[in-house]
């Protein structure tokens, strides 16, 4: 698991305000652009290094040596940041001696948090909402977008609930379209704000060519959905929002997290989607991430995926029978039936992805999505087992004996 944020050791500093910096290993950058960069050093050589926004050094450095140098502010990084590379973008907060990695050039899992505020209180929320004034985050994200390379293949945005920004949310999508016109954009939202047709039209009028909104729908039963998200009336607004987005030409992906509260009507939920929301671009049936509120509600939510593998197959079969594009996310390959192999996806972000010791001898590990780090720590199926490689693409998966 990669560490994306944490403490640094400040060896020398004068700045006090947070700043966004692009990582470079080139000490010969022109002086006029150096303030925009954090110089990354593998060895503590501070000679003739001045004017950078910060110097990040991986080697052990004596504090007095750093203090006597002519270099910029100097921070020592722990081994957790060994992955930092040329072109990554970090947020340095001198007042807290903290560093957050906001963008990694070598990753396809870059997701930007827009706010921790939300109008849902989902039982299994992985990013529990906070009643804080964090709207400054959005303004910083505008600056971040300008720094991200234009050729970036994909980028995600999440919350909290991003649409709480109202028209500033629309402005952000427009901003992304202007600066990253060829980047695929995925935004996680509960979709309720789009029950207002005018708001949905505003997003549609941006005309982003490769935008998808990921919207959760946890049941075909409004009462059950509203219970899961802890917000009365949420089901009606969510479905209206999806319909309005369709009318406005905005692509939608529906996400269903499978747990004890959604499982009893999972097949019926997929049937509801297929019959009423056939136009959506994609449906993802997702495993549980054991973090945030899920940990507090784990005994109420956890179901071993081995126990519901047949129900998962039936639910996915409903979607594919209607010609819908569907995927299985956040599950282990040895816990799903063979018929789901064509729609099984490795979906867990690289910075929170791990495998068990039992997976070390699995011949299909490269095809398996593995585990959330939190699942390795707190709870996972007792039925994990190594698998033999398939002889042919069409042959069934053969498991090794326990």
Residues 174 and 206: beta-carbon distance below 8 Å: yes
Residue 236: closest CA among 248, 221, 246, 249:
221
User: Does residue 134 sit in the same domain as residue 92?
Assistant: no
Hey, what long-range contacts does 260-264 have (CB within 8 A, 24 or more apart)? 260/300, 260/301, 260/302, 260/303, 261/123, 261/218, 261/224, 261/227, 261/228, 261/300, 261/301, 262/218, 262/219, 262/224, 262/228, 263/303, 263/308, 263/311
Last residue of a domain, one of 84, 103, 122: 103
Residues 112 and 95: beta-carbon distance below 8 Å: no
Phi and psi at 339, nearest 5°, equal -70, -15
User: Does residue 139 sit in the same domain as residue 98?
Assistant: no
pLDDT of residue 13: 84
User: Does residue 158 sit in the same domain as residue 12?
Assistant: no
pLDDT of residue 391: 63
User: Does residue 205 sit in the same domain as residue 327?
Assistant: yes
User: Does residue 309 sit in the same domain as residue 185?
Assistant: yes
User: Does residue 190 sit in the same domain as residue 214?
Assistant: yes
Q: What is the 3-state composition of the chain as percent helix, strand, coil, each rounded to the nearest 5?
A: 35, 20, 45
What residue ranges in 201-268 does DSSP mark as E strands? 211-216, 251-257
Last residue of a domain, one of 103, 123, 144: 103
What CATH number is associated with residue 250?
Answer: 3.20.20.70
pLDDT of residue 204: 98
What CA–CA distance (Å, rounded) separates 45 from 71?
10
- What predicted TM-score, i.e. pTM, was given to this entire model? 0.91
Phi and psi at 60, nearest 5°, equal -70, 135
pLDDT of residue 79: 85
User: Does residue 188 sit in the same domain as residue 308?
Assistant: yes
User: Does residue 333 sit in the same domain as residue 187?
Assistant: yes
User: Does residue 209 sit in the same domain as residue 177?
Assistant: yes
Which CA distances in Å does 160 have to 172, 181, 287, 345, 372?
Answer: 16, 25, 20, 25, 20
Number of structural domains found in the chain: 2
Residue 195: closest CA among 237, 147, 153:
237
User: Does residue 33 sit in the same domain as residue 121?
Assistant: no
Which CA distances in Å does 108 have to 185, 253, 274, 347?
Answer: 12, 19, 30, 11
Last residue of a domain, one of 76, 103, 130: 103
φ/ψ bin of 226: left (φ > 0), alpha (ψ from -120 to 50), beta (otherwise): alpha
pLDDT of residue 66: 62
What CA–CA distance (Å, rounded) separates 395 from 250?
39
The residue range of the domain holding 269 is 111-399
Cβ atoms within 10 Å of 329's Cβ, excluding its own = 19
User: Does residue 236 sit in the same domain as residue 364?
Assistant: yes
User: Does residue 275 sit in the same domain as residue 349?
Assistant: yes
What CATH number is associated with residue 70?
Answer: 3.50.30.10
Which CA distances in Å does 36 have to 20, 197, 310?
Answer: 8, 41, 54
Series of mean pLDDT values for 10-residue runs along the chain (402 residues) = 83 87 96 95 81 88 66 85 95 94 94 97 95 93 97 96 98 98 97 98 97 98 98 98 98 98 98 98 97 95 97 98 98 96 93 92 94 90 92 43 31
């Amino acid at each position: 698991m990669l560490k994306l944020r944490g403490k640094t050791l400040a060896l020398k500093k004068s700045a006090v305000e947070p700043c966004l910096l692009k990582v470079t290993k080139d000490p010969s950058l022109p002086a006029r652009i150096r303030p925009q960069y954090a110089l990354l050093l593998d060895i503590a050589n501070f000679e003739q290094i001045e004017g950078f926004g910060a110097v990040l050094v991986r080697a052990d450095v004596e504090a007095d040596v750093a203090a006597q140098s002519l270099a910029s502010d100097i921070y020592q990084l722990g081994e957790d940041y060994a992955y930092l590379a040329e072109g990554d973008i970090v947020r340095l907060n001198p007042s807290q001696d903290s560093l957050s990695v906001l963008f990694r050039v070598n990753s396809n899992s870059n997701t930007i948090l827009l706010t921790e505020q939300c109008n849902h209180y989902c039982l299994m929320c992985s990013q529990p909402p906070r009643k804080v004034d964090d709207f400054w985050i959005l303004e910083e994200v505008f600056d971040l977008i300008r720094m991200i390379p234009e050729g970036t293949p994909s980028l995600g945005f999440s919350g909290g609930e991003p649409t709480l920004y109202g028209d500033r949310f629309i402005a952000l999508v427009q901003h992304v379209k202007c600066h990253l016109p060829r980047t695929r954009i995925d935004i996680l939202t509960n979709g309720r704000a789009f029950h207002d047709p005018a708001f949905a039209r505003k997003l549609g009028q941006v005309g982003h060519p490769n935008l998808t909104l990921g919207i959760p729908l946890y049941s075909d039963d409004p009462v059950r959905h509203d219970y899961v998200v802890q917000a009365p009336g949420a089901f009606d607004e969510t479905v209206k929002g999806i319909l309005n987005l369709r009318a406005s030409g905005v692509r939608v992906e529906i996400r269903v997290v499978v747990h004890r509260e959604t499982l009893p009507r999972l097949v019926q939920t997929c049937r509801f989607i297929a019959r009423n929301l056939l136009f959506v671009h994609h449906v993802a049936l997702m495993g549980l991430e054991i973090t945030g509120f899920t940990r507090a509600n784990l005994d109420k939510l956890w179901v071993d995926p081995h126990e519901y593998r047949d129900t998962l197959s039936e639910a996915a079969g409903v979607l594919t029978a209607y010609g819908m594009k569907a995927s299985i996310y956040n599950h282990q390959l040895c816990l799903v039936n063979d018929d789901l192999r064509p729609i099984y996806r490795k979906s867990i972000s690289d910075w929170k992805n791990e495998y068990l010791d039992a997976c070390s001898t699995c011949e299909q590990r490269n095809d398996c999505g593995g585990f959330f780090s939190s699942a390795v720590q707190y709870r996972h199926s007792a039925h994990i087992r190594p698998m033999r490689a398939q002889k042919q693409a069409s042959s069934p998966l053969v498991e090794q004996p326990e």
